[in-house]
Chains A and B, each alone.
Chain A
């Protein structure tokens, strides 16, 4: 039997709605069951009271947060983590920008090579890479020996902040570069030529055209690298050892060694809040930029 057109349409729409819901379902289940629920549990744990020996007592207290905030030891860890994030973001930005520019503007053959060089590290497990860095940075490792050969003083790199920044820079570089490439590719080379033709030298072209137009990429890349760095665990643990304790390694120690789950939960929540706050700030920054005129088609 044929339905009048309107009913047929309604039926089709309903079918589409049903299909959409079904398609969304696995993702939603995963999001809520595997991510949101544990997060809620973590939040709940963070309000519990820790009992020495590894168990916890159900409570609604802010002791764990207070402990983190009031003890200068943890404040130092927080600051170190933030400094690490900023440092890695800055170094990847400074090193990644020229690379991203070369990829975005380069001729096809070089381009493919550079992109491959950028992406290949992503395909290696971060633990493997960190062990690699340990070998490179270790006492009488490749780097130290090379420095010694050149007659330079030996620098201790393994288990130092410098070493962690160095290896994390390598780990984070692809994220920065790929973000920047996306933005730089959308800036027409004509704009640079135009500025140059009007009398601007290389530096002015960069300052007046490239920099302001690639700012969204710089912001996005830096925030991404920052967020990934402050939550990085494997590299700080392996390369930094016990002497470069950051938030992630501290949480790990609290969970597995001190068995202080409530405190570990509180610390995790604090880290999460920082990252969320940054995401909001970044969103704001990019939105205000989006309000200013976009490049004409």
Chain B
């Protein structure tokens, strides 16, 4: 008995070992990438039309001493396996098959199935996985399954059920030519199933980083780990990643269906399964019925969904998105944001998203990694990065910011500190060293605006008279530039239709005198580097 096995695969058998599977399995097992493709012995599925088709589809691969084994095809998680010389049996949690699979029948009728000779250059892989989150519909039945000898593809990419893995980048550096630093000492760990965005201005190295993860670029130093395995030296075609290109990179000479099926073809998936999976994924991206069209006959948004379908249909270990939304118009972009995020969540794929659009990064990601000049400036959940930027660069890059440089004077009796900005004295909450020069950040939406006579302004710990220098209407909000000192211009954002009457009946106009006010807690001290 081998089991419970953790990772198991028979890789390639040498001619001398050309023996029944059972014997082959008694050899040493090697840990490989997560993959399991197996055949479930399923009389009820065979009785159905679909099952019959799948059997005829694959009968050439699987014979049992010239006797055909009734099989249907599915995928799932093996959690136990044993080897009794001639027989290899595993316990599998069934996940992909239709409900017509009757597991009890399976156990009764097919426990004594043998596998025939496994042809040379064929192999199969199996892996257990305790993570059950991904099984759709809470399908928990245990099925007796047999491993199907899976055609061992030249490129060796696995095609398994989506099992989120972690991606780790260790101290990666990459230079182009002499002295042009693209990525410098970049380290990041992306948790299984997490969506992390790499955010930064153009030329900050985010796309280079993505290409390194995909394998299209080699790092000069550092390593890329997928699920704890170092794949730095693996070529892209063995990495099992799905990539969505900015240009979509759809094959123009292939139909939508052929585009989507391409990755499956490379994995030698059976024709029937290919059809089913392509159909399913096109449904998932709401493109049913476009399968026979060519990419140029589709709109930009549709093309992008095809590219997404092509990337996820292979159930990759990691999904890489390179500015996927930048070629779409604003409305469609918003829609696709939600759609991509939703699909990513459903599939639970570890995803790395490259963008220069901070809004995109904030709305879609579990974690935002702000990059500048090839380095990580800050990594954190979207609110964290927005509220507590660790550097001036991050404060500037994400959202609108009022940033003031001045010095900290000392404590006030209210437990706050006093900050000198030219002639103004601001109350701030955080406490850097006294007399230290520092920068503070005040987000425009934290500032309130009152007409000068309004007494409510006095209730704020910071309140200053000022003059509106510019006002512009943005739809949901109004942007103001208020001068509160000769050198201090404050950016303020107000809701254009306010429910409370902070600014009721007052349409801000250029030249108006106002009082701007904010609490000490609204300001953040940005640590100087």
Interface residues of A (CB under 8 A from B): 188, 190-191, 193-201, 204, 208-209, 212-213, 292-296
A199 and chain B: residue at smallest CB distance = B266
Query: Chain B contacts of A191 at CB under 8 A?
Result: 249, 251-252
Query: Chain B contacts of A294 at CB under 8 A?
Result: 252, 296
Contact yes or no, B247 A197, CB < 8 A: no
Smallest CB separation, B470 vs chain A (Å): 39
Contact yes or no, B296 A204, CB < 8 A: no
Interface set, chain B 176-192, CB cutoff 8 A to A: none
Query: Chain A contacts of B253 at CB under 8 A?
Result: 212-213, 292-293
Contact yes or no, A197 B241, CB < 8 A: yes
Query: Chain A contacts of B303 at CB under 8 A?
Result: 296
State A292–B255 Cα separation when bound (angstroms): 11
The 8 Å CB contact of A193, one of B154, B249, B252, B266, is: B249
Contact yes or no, B296 A200, CB < 8 A: no
Contact yes or no, A201 B296, CB < 8 A: no
Smallest CB separation, B184 vs chain A (Å): 22
Smallest CB separation, B65 vs chain A (Å): 34
Known A196-B235, A196-B236, A295-B296; contact A204-B266, beta-carbon cutoff 8 A: yes
State A208–B262 Cα separation when bound (angstroms): 9
Contact yes or no, B155 A200, CB < 8 A: yes
Interface set, chain B 239-266, CB cutoff 8 A to A: 239-243, 245, 247-253, 262-263, 266
Known A212-B253, A213-B253, A295-B252; contact A199-B237, beta-carbon cutoff 8 A: yes
Q: Is residue B297 within 8 Å, beta carbon to beta carbon, of the partner chain?
A: yes
A107 and chain B: residue at smallest CB distance = B177
Contact yes or no, B247 A190, CB < 8 A: yes
Contact yes or no, A201 B154, CB < 8 A: yes
Contact yes or no, A199 B296, CB < 8 A: no
Query: Chain B contacts of A213 at CB under 8 A?
Result: 252-253
A187 and chain B: residue at smallest CB distance = B252
7 smallest beta-carbon distances between A and B, as pairs = A199-B266, A293-B294, A198-B263, A295-B252, A190-B249, A194-B249, A296-B296
Contact yes or no, A293 B214, CB < 8 A: no
Q: Is residue B305 within 8 Å, beta carbon to beta carbon, of the partner chain?
A: no
A289 and chain B: residue at smallest CB distance = B253
Contact yes or no, B295 A188, CB < 8 A: no
Known A293-B297, A296-B303; contact A195-B251, beta-carbon cutoff 8 A: yes
Q: Is residue B460 within 8 Å, beta carbon to beta carbon, of the partner chain?
A: no
Smallest CB separation, B159 vs chain A (Å): 8
Contact yes or no, B249 A188, CB < 8 A: yes
State A25–B282 Cα separation when bound (angstroms): 58
Q: Is residue B216 within 8 Å, beta carbon to beta carbon, of the partner chain?
A: yes
Size category of the B interface is: 35 or more
Query: Taking each of B237, B241, B247, which has the highest tally of chain A beta carbons within 10 Å of its own beta carbon?
Result: B237
State A293–B295 Cα separation when bound (angstroms): 8
Query: Chain A contacts of B157 at CB under 8 A?
Result: 199
Query: Chain A contacts of B215 at CB under 8 A?
Result: 197
Contact yes or no, A197 B237, CB < 8 A: yes
Determine chain A's interface SS by DSSP, over half rule.
helix
Q: Is residue B456 within 8 Å, beta carbon to beta carbon, of the partner chain?
A: no
State A238–B20 Cα separation when bound (angstroms): 67
State A190–B262 Cα separation when bound (angstroms): 15
Query: Chain B contacts of A212 at CB under 8 A?
Result: 253
State A198–B264 Cα separation when bound (angstroms): 8
Smallest CB separation, B352 vs chain A (Å): 13
Known A197-B243, A200-B266, A201-B154; contact A296-B310, beta-carbon cutoff 8 A: no
A292 and chain B: residue at smallest CB distance = B253
Contact yes or no, B262 A195, CB < 8 A: yes
State A199–B313 Cα separation when bound (angstroms): 12
Contact yes or no, B243 A194, CB < 8 A: yes
Contact yes or no, A199 B314, CB < 8 A: yes
Query: Taking each of A194, A208, A294, which has the highest tally of chain B beta carbons within 10 Å of its own beta carbon?
Result: A194
A209 and chain B: residue at smallest CB distance = B251
B268 and chain A: residue at smallest CB distance = A199
Known A293-B294, A293-B296, A295-B296; contact A198-B250, beta-carbon cutoff 8 A: no
State A67–B170 Cα separation when bound (angstroms): 79
Query: Chain A contacts of B248 at CB under 8 A?
Result: 296
State A294–B266 Cα separation when bound (angstroms): 24
Q: Is residue B491 within 8 Å, beta carbon to beta carbon, of the partner chain?
A: no
State A296–B295 Cα separation when bound (angstroms): 7
Smallest CB separation, B272 vs chain A (Å): 20
Q: Is residue B463 within 8 Å, beta carbon to beta carbon, of the partner chain?
A: no
Query: Chain B contacts of A196 at CB under 8 A?
Result: 216, 235-237
Interface set, chain B 201-257, CB cutoff 8 A to A: 214-216, 235-243, 245, 247-253
Interface set, chain B 416-463, CB cutoff 8 A to A: none
Query: Chain A contacts of B314 at CB under 8 A?
Result: 198-199
Smallest CB separation, A175 vs chain B (Å): 25
Query: Chain B contacts of A204 at CB under 8 A?
Result: 155, 266
Query: Chain B contacts of A208 at CB under 8 A?
Result: 251, 262
**20 cross-chain CB contacts under 8 A:** A191-B249, A191-B252, A193-B236, A193-B249, A194-B243, A195-B251, A196-B216, A196-B235, A196-B236, A197-B236, A197-B237, A198-B242, A199-B237, A199-B238, A201-B155, A208-B251, A208-B262, A294-B296, A295-B252, A296-B250
Query: Chain A contacts of B238 at CB under 8 A?
Result: 199
Known A193-B216, A193-B236; contact A199-B153, beta-carbon cutoff 8 A: yes
Query: Chain B contacts of A209 at CB under 8 A?
Result: 251
B295 and chain A: residue at smallest CB distance = A296
A212 and chain B: residue at smallest CB distance = B253
Contact yes or no, A296 B252, CB < 8 A: yes
State A292–B249 Cα separation when bound (angstroms): 18
> Per-residue CB proximity of B3-38 to A under 8 Å, as 1/0?
000000000000000000000000000000000000
State A295–B251 Cα separation when bound (angstroms): 8
Smallest CB separation, A251 vs chain B (Å): 42
State A294–B253 Cα separation when bound (angstroms): 7
State A198–B310 Cα separation when bound (angstroms): 8
State A49–B342 Cα separation when bound (angstroms): 84
State A237–B510 Cα separation when bound (angstroms): 88
B240 and chain A: residue at smallest CB distance = A199
Query: Chain B contacts of A193 at CB under 8 A?
Result: 214, 216, 236, 243, 245, 249
Q: Is residue B267 within 8 Å, beta carbon to beta carbon, of the partner chain?
A: yes
Query: Chain A contacts of B154 at CB under 8 A?
Result: 201
State A52–B267 Cα separation when bound (angstroms): 73
Contact yes or no, A188 B266, CB < 8 A: no
Smallest CB separation, B282 vs chain A (Å): 16
B211 and chain A: residue at smallest CB distance = A193
Smallest CB separation, B275 vs chain A (Å): 18
Beyond the given A195-B251, A199-B153, please list 8 additional residue pairs across the A-B interface where CB-CB is below 8 A. Answer: A194-B250, A197-B216, A198-B262, A199-B237, A199-B263, A200-B237, A204-B155, A296-B250
Query: Chain B contacts of A188 at CB under 8 A?
Result: 247, 249
Contact yes or no, B267 A197, CB < 8 A: no
